[in-house]
A = this chain, B = another copy of it.
Amino acid sequence: MNAEDMIMISVDDHVVEPPTMFDAHIPERYRDRAPRVRTTKDGSDVWTFNGQTIPNIGLNAVAGRPKEEYGIEPTAFDEIRPGTHDIDERVKDMNAGGILASMNFPSFPGFSGRVFSAAEDKDLALAVLRAYNDWHVDEWAGTHPGRIVPMALPVLWDAELCAEEVRRVAAKGCHSITFTENPATLGYPSFHNEYWDPLWRAVCDENVVVSIHLGSSGQLSVTAPDAPVDVMITLQPMNICQAAADLLWSRVIKKFPGIRFALSEGGTGWIPYFLDRVDRTYDMHHLWTGQDFGGRLPSEVFREHFLTCFISDPVGVELRHRIGIDNIAWECDYPHSDSSWPNAPEELAEVAAGVPDDELNKITFENAMRWYSFDPFVNGRTRENATVGALRAEAAGHDVSIRSYDKGRFEKSVGIEMGRLVDQATA
């Protein structure tokens, strides 16, 4: 299929939250204590909440910048593309990139809302989290219907409240919750603990996918403090196989047959090996470990419960039938540094040359629609005017040129050490 003829839903992009996000959503009595943006002496914009300061990390919003200027420095809003934090500009960027719809993971709260859960005042934390979700669902996703796949943050510190929140946002049409790769490493009960059962019950009842983004365990894949940053960048996606194994062998899958997880930004090329590995592990060991999937193989069970996705993954595309053609979705990763926006459709078309149209349609949009119960064909949008080519025509004149947004405040980030990145990422 030609790039211009594809219809593309990205199941993993990111929103950089705008400073005004809480204005219309936080209850009056918490207004003074809600997260707010302030500008530091060096000109960076940072979020502050509950005594914490969270910088916008440069590498998380590099779309449209020259690669020489990628880096992990703190940034200001006027150093990043408006499309990262302004929904009207975002839709223009999506059109220019040929993207019909997009699911957006959070930035400053952390992928699973850790920044909120750290507050001792849990009433405040819950009010802020609900305000975040209302902003995301009603305002960010609601302004341009059919363009943003809504996603909610979890109540990490209370599984019952988390279940309530899932039901609350599901009533507004939100069928995705972002969660952590590993609650145990964040100090909560593990996936193997019954503690989370109310949440699992709610997501099954409400047809909500638990979307697990790489890096959400609170642990970066850092081999040594003096390792080049390239090591961490390489390893981060492969790390998510830990969550896949943890959940696949857990009681969760067995007790909640309707539960579904997405391995977000996890890539797909490693999945065929992983599926062989779990089947061999089952074959060699289940007689003493006691694993029992009712006579089925773990690889079969995996395909019922896990959605995988890729940015550009030649191996995953080649082995798509070993993964499961109904278990693969595409992602853009805008505005992060792994994204090829605005040329992602051309990149995918090259990788997917030779894939039959019906299979490619599943990967580019049909699987995303089904897994996330999401319909982009509203407000006069039809398959005909939803293609990459049609959307780009709507974006005519929108500036997507690669240009420098850097104020020149920083040294080039060459030779940066991992210790520093870890400090920044967990600050």
Interface set of A (CB-CB < 8 Å, partner B): 66-71, 182, 184, 190-193, 221, 223-231, 233-235, 237-238, 241-243, 245-246, 249-250, 267, 269-270, 272-274, 276-278, 280-282, 284-291, 312-316, 318-319, 322, 337-338, 412-416
Q: Which chain B residue shows the least CB distance to A314?
A: B276
Q: In this complex, which of A190, A223, A235 has the most chain B Cβ atoms within 10 angstroms of its Cβ? A: A223
Report which of B226, B242, B338 forms a contact with A235, defined as CB distance below 8 A: B242
Report which of B221, B272, B274, B287 forms a contact with A67, defined as CB distance below 8 A: B287
Q: Which chain B residue shows the least CB distance to A339?
A: B284
Q: Which chain B residue shows the least CB distance to A413?
A: B288
Q: Is the CB of B192 within 8 A of A228?
A: yes
Q: Is the CB of B281 within 8 A of A233?
A: yes
A318 to B312, CA, bound (A): 20
Q: Is the CB of B337 within 8 A of A290?
A: no
A289 to B322, CA, bound (A): 35
CB distance from A254 to the nearest CB of B (A): 11
Q: Is the CB of A284 within 8 A of B224?
A: no
A148 to B412, CA, bound (A): 52
Q: Is the CB of B276 within 8 A of A230?
A: no
Chain B contacts for A228, CB-based, 8 A: 192, 249-250, 289, 291
Q: Is the CB of A224 within 8 A of B315?
A: no
Report which of B231, B267, B285, B286 forms a contact with A273, defined as CB distance below 8 A: B267
A382 to B286, CA, bound (A): 41
Report which of B190, B227, B235 forms a contact with A223, defined as CB distance below 8 A: B190
Q: Is the CB of A242 within 8 A of B223?
A: yes
A241 to B269, CA, bound (A): 14
Q: Is the CB of B230 within 8 A of A242?
A: no
A227 to B226, CA, bound (A): 31
Q: In this complex, which of A193, A221, A225, A234 has the most chain B Cβ atoms within 10 angstroms of its Cβ? A: A234
Question: 19 interchain pairs (CB within 8 A)?
Answer: A193-B226, A223-B242, A224-B246, A227-B246, A227-B250, A228-B291, A229-B285, A230-B245, A230-B281, A230-B289, A233-B281, A234-B278, A235-B241, A269-B270, A269-B272, A273-B313, A276-B313, A289-B413, A289-B415
